[in-house]
Structure 1
Amino acid sequence: MSAASESAERRRGRRPSGEDTRAALLSAARAEFTERGYQGARVRSIATSAGVDAAMVNHWFGGKEGLFAAALELPVNPDALLSRLLDGDPEGTGERIVRTFLSVWDAHDGGPFVGLLRSVANHDTAARMVREFVSEVIFGKLVGAFSSPDADLRASLCGSQMVGLGMARYVIKLEPLASADVDTLAGAIGPTLQRYLTGSIG
């Protein structure tokens, strides 16, 4: 089938099946997120570009957040991640952030997140993806749960701490931080994150 014929088929509503649907959605999502950013991207527009029904986004990814995480090839769903971070004593959230992120990153030796970190200096798309994941998908919502003033600044401070940790541990491999155990890092960095979340940043 020619490309033109295939495109016409999709416009008439032919739906790819199985993994083809998932792959089509991911391809369309990456293009949409790149062009419009996370906030500007629309699930219906992504589905239309992929030639599938918008309900397939929920079926395969659980919603826009899950689709964004999959487009970034992240090994964790943002909603599940937020639930873990908010589950427990609010004053222990800073340490939970460090423990949770390191448990995810260490299990994959940094995973695709390392690839993104290596790309941010030279690729605007990668920088935008990391920026929006950090500020809007994760820390923006996390800070919002505490109703603290200066929420945007707090979210960006938390993001700077964790992106910096990821860069130092997995990309630069700065010792002894790179080989430090999770308990050590959670104890050292957790209080700083807690201050960013709920303390004074004056």
Structure 2
Amino acid sequence: MARRSGRRPGNPDTREAILNAAREAFAERGFDGSSIRAIATSAGVDPALVHHYFGTKEQLFQATINIPFNPGELLPQIAAGGVDGAGERLVATFLRVWDSPAGTAGAALLRSAVNNEWSARLLREFVVTQILRRAAGLLDLDPAQAPLRTSLVASQLVGLAMARYILKLEPLASAPAEEVVAAVGPTMQRYLTGDLSGPTGGGSGASPGRSRTAGPTETG
């Protein structure tokens, strides 16, 4: 029986062809703008074969960047206790993953993103759609503030990863995890739930319970 044209057989090259097509799609059109059908067409396979190899679109996305953890499993655990204390739980989970063997893959991914724009675009899309968006929903953050709050959280985590695991900046690099959680967790919690307006700006811009240092009193 003649094989349909334009379709790859189920051989070892098929999986890599799908991954290459998916990387290009996710980097160029983003997660939301990419579909299994379009990726399958680009790879020259049937959409059912994509599902066969990778399952859902989320799982395919994770496979394209070889992410060493599944946000769909970790984020609900972090959010289970509610928004209070979520900053400390997030840092503790982050350190547990990076201090495990999975941290080697995480470090390689971060180095690649720093040195390669293509990898950076994939990682940025993954962080926004698979981590930050999910976290905002699970923690029921104010939709108007969620993008800023979650991007601040991401900046803290990326900085922590760079300093502790890439640059190996001491004493942070060898500090016990519980000390790092105690030091960084409150900052993460402020990003999630605290007042981000700061002490400047006057009136309503001041944080509750925080007073400014009074300047010299002018006399007439």
TM interval, shorter chain, is: 0.7 to 0.9
**3-state DSSP class of the match of 1:40?**
coil
8 Å CA contact 1:161–1:193 kept in 2: the answer is yes
Q: Among 145, 150, 157, which residue is 1:150 paired with? A: 145
Structure 1 unmatched ranges of 5 or more: 1-7
Which structure shows the bigger proportion of residues in helix conformation?
1
Counterpart of 2:35 in structure 1 is 42
Output the CA distance in 2 between the equivalents of 1:168 and 1:10. Answer: 51
8 Å CA contact 1:25–1:57 kept in 2: the answer is yes
Residue by residue, what CA displacement relative to the aligned partner does 1:38-61 show, whole Å, maximum 9, x if unpaired?
Answer: 332222211222333334444444
Structure 2 unmatched ranges of 5 or more: 198-220
TM-score w.r.t. length of structure 1 = 0.83
Deviates more, 1:153-162 or 1:125-134: 125-134
Identity among equivalent positions (%) equals 50
Counterpart of 2:47 in structure 1 is 54
2:186 is equivalent to residue 191 of structure 1: yes
8 Å CA contact 2:36–2:50 kept in 1: the answer is yes
Output the CA distance in 2 between the equivalents of 1:111 and 1:10. Answer: 42
Output the CA distance in 2 between the equivalents of 1:72 and 1:85. Answer: 23
Residues 185/40 of structure 1: CA separation in 2 closer, same or farther (3 Å cut): same
Alignment of 1:38-117 (within 5 A): 38-108=31-101, 110-117=103-110
Counterpart of 1:138 in structure 2 is 131
Q: Among 10, 25, 45, which residue is 1:16 paired with? A: 10
**3-state DSSP class of the match of 2:31?**
helix
8 Å CA contact 1:28–1:50 kept in 2: the answer is yes
2:157 is equivalent to residue 162 of structure 1: yes
Backbone CA RMSD of aligned residues: 2.3
8 Å CA contact 2:69–2:102 kept in 1: the answer is no
Residues 104/45 of structure 1: CA separation in 2 closer, same or farther (3 Å cut): same
**3-state DSSP class of the match of 1:200?**
coil
Output the CA distance in 2 between the equivalents of 1:10 and 1:88. Answer: 53
Output the CA distance in 1 between the equivalents of 2:132 and 2:29. Answer: 20
Residues 188/59 of structure 1: CA separation in 2 closer, same or farther (3 Å cut): farther
Equivalenced residue count is 193
